[in-house]
Structure 1
Amino acid sequence: MSFPLRTLAALLVLLPVSVPAQDFFKPLKDFVEDLVPQRAPATRPVPKATPQVKEEAETPPPLPKPRPEGLGEEEPEAPVEAAPAPEPDAPVEPEAVPAPEPAPPAEEAVVDDRIYQTACPALISGAVVAKMLPPIAEGVCMAQSPLEVTALNLNGKTVELTSPIQTNCEMATALVDWAGDVDAYAKAALDSGLAALQTGTSYMCRPRVGGAEQFTSEHGFANAVDLVGFTLADGRSIVVENDWLPATTPEAKLLRQSHGAACGKFTTVLGPEANADHEDHLHLDLGCHGQTCTAQICE
């Protein structure tokens, strides 16, 4: 392989002049040897390793030397005495446990003994002279806010009841309105107003008269009043049993007029022409008739 002389000359110029000859040419020699391809060295067979024979045979370990007689023998251990069993403890009496204190009695339920009743406007306004009664509860018969009525205030005067009646507020209110119409008619037709109402049965727990016994009378709900007659201011007494007939007399006309006026104030009005059970009085009540409680019975 040729080496360019120009390159060699350039290298010679770069080297210092004071370098010895052997040192000067050594880098050039190494450079040239690097450029020349080298032959791979010939491989030589590697000799096989021979197993090394153990020079000495393995010797058995030495036996222990015998001990002198009487030495090294273990003396028998002395028997260990068993520890005495612990004596059983004396039975411990259980401590007296105090009996638990009795639980305080449960507080009794507070019973609300207040009575809730409905106030009656006719009583508050003074239209009726009455007092509140305790609620009525007698089997199927009952009334939450009954009144004991003794007189009515109408047309500027007081009309007495010949016997107090026990009835509810609705009946007492309707009774005042109806008696006011009767008083006005009596003044016009008989020249004397009412002084008193002759009253009969009011509250009474019983079955309905003239009907099936399973039905309770409106009297059993303080919702009915029987009227026997009237007493006029001039002292005359007009009674249903005696004065209903003949119908043409002034007294009979007052009774019939009072019957007709009641049909506009109450839902049930029964008189002598209804049946024999009512031949001596007018029955007035506010019972429910029909599905909507708006039907009226007037006989």
Structure 2
Amino acid sequence: MKLRGRRAGRVSGNMALLLMLVSTAWAQTPTAPLPPPRPDRPVPTNPEPQTETPPATETPVEKKASEDNNAHTACLESLSKLGLRFETRPPVQEGRCSIGNPVLLSALANGIEVAPASLMACPVAESLARWMSEMVAPEAERQFQSTPTKLLIGTSYQCRDQRNGAKLSEHALGNGVDVMGFEFAKRPPLTIASQPESSPEANFQSAIQKAACPIFNTVLGPGSDADHGDHLHLDLRERKGDYRICQ
């Protein structure tokens, strides 16, 4: 019985040793490496370098043309909002004389007729409308208790030099108009001229001539020189330093 017990102990010990050797061998067995994660997109074998396309840039001429077109569109919208009656006309080119985007103006706000219908650059039409509504109509009501019904135009666009021949006239660019007078609802017409001193006509004419100076860049009329004794010359000529002539 005692021998049998020793044998059983040796068998048990051998089994334990065998299990230990098997476990050690299993632990030392190298494991296979995991495959790398699959990329979302296949990587090209020879990728081409990506270059950014530079944004297109306008030339100075193209930029100026774009700005002029935008300004003209805004001006036409303004004429419509002010209630003017006008027609757009094709560009004028007559030797050195030209108008890029002319309009034919036939009436101002409140149905004030422009007689005759006159060709001019859009900003001139816009300035005339402002002058008539803000200055001329209120002054006519103050001096004559009447409203103007017609603006009488002598010259708008005309291809010519200045009277002294020094340079091209603003009329040749559609940039100026000559106002000859007005008609009213309740009184006789008024023609621009030397008026009797202190008369309602003199007060009216003097007031509207001065009131044109903040709106137009050139204002010439009776008393300025011999050439402007019978009309008001109004233009938008640009000068250095925003210099204006008001006489």
TM-score normalised to the size of structure 2?
0.68
- The 3-state SS of whatever aligns with 2:128 is helix
Cα contact 2:221–2:228 (8 A) shared by 1: yes
State the partner residue of 1:175. 128
- Structure 1 CA distance, aligned partners of 2:225 and 2:77? 35
Q: Within the alignment, does 1:279 sit opposite 2:229 as a pair?
A: yes
Provide the residue aligned with 2:32 in structure 1: none
Q: What CA distance in whole angstroms lies between the structure 1 residues aligned with 2:85 and 2:78?
A: 9
Residue 233, structure 1, aligned to residue 177, structure 2:
no
Aligned to 1:98: none
Partner of 1:196: 150
Name 1:250's counterpart in structure 2: 200
Rounded Cα–Cα distance in structure 1 between residues aligned with 2:212 and 2:232: 9
Of all paired residues, the percent bearing the same amino acid is: 34
Cα distance in 2 for partners of 1:231, 1:218 equals 26
Q: CA deviation at 1:247?
A: 2.6
Aligned residue for 1:287, secondary structure, equals coil
Structure whose residues are more often helix by fraction: 2
Structure 2 unaligned spans of 5+: 1-67
> What is the alpha-carbon distance in structure 2 between the residues aligned to residue 176 and residue 170 of structure 1?
10
| Number of the residue aligned with 1:132 | 88
Relative CO higher for 1 or 2, CA cutoff 8 Å, sep ≥ 6? 2
1:178-209 Cα shifts (integer Å, max 9, x gaps):
01111011112211011111111000010012
TM-score, with structure 1 as normaliser: 0.56
Q: Provide the rounded CA distance (Å) in 2 between the counterparts of 1:210 and 1:193.
A: 37
Q: Which amino acid aligns with 1:236?
A: P
| Counterpart secondary structure, 2:198 | coil
Matched, 1:164 2:117: yes
* Paired letter, 1:179: M
- The residue correspondences of 1:140-155 to structure 2 (distance < 5 A) are 140-153=96-109
Per the alignment, residue 18 of structure 1 pairs with: none
CA distance in 2, matches of 1:195, 1:235: 11
Contact 2:146 2:187 in 1 (8 A): no
Letter in 2 for 1:262: A
Q: Contact conserved, 1:122 with 1:128, CA < 8 A, in 2?
A: no
Contact residue 122 and residue 169 of structure 1 kept, 8 A: no
User: Pairwise mapping of residues 1-299 of structure 1 onto structure 2 (< 5 A)?
Assistant: 118-119=72-73, 120-153=76-109, 157-180=110-133, 181-210=135-164, 212=166, 215-241=167-193, 244-289=194-239, 291-292=240-241, 294-299=242-247
* Contact persistence 1:229–1:240 (CA under 8 A): yes
- In the aligned structure 2, how far is the partner of 1:200 from the partner of 1:160? 14
Q: Distance in 1 between matches of 2:199 and 2:82?
A: 35
Q: Which has more radius of gyration?
A: 1
Aligned mates of 1:288, 1:211 — CA distance in 2: 19
- SS of 1:188 mapped into structure 2: helix
1:122 shift after superposition: 2.8
Q: Secondary structure at 1:246's aligned position in 2? A: coil
Structure 1 residue runs of 5 or longer lacking an equivalent are: 1-115
Q: How many residues align?
A: 175
Q: Which residue does 1:62 correspond to in 2?
A: none
CA distance in 2, matches of 1:174, 1:123: 10
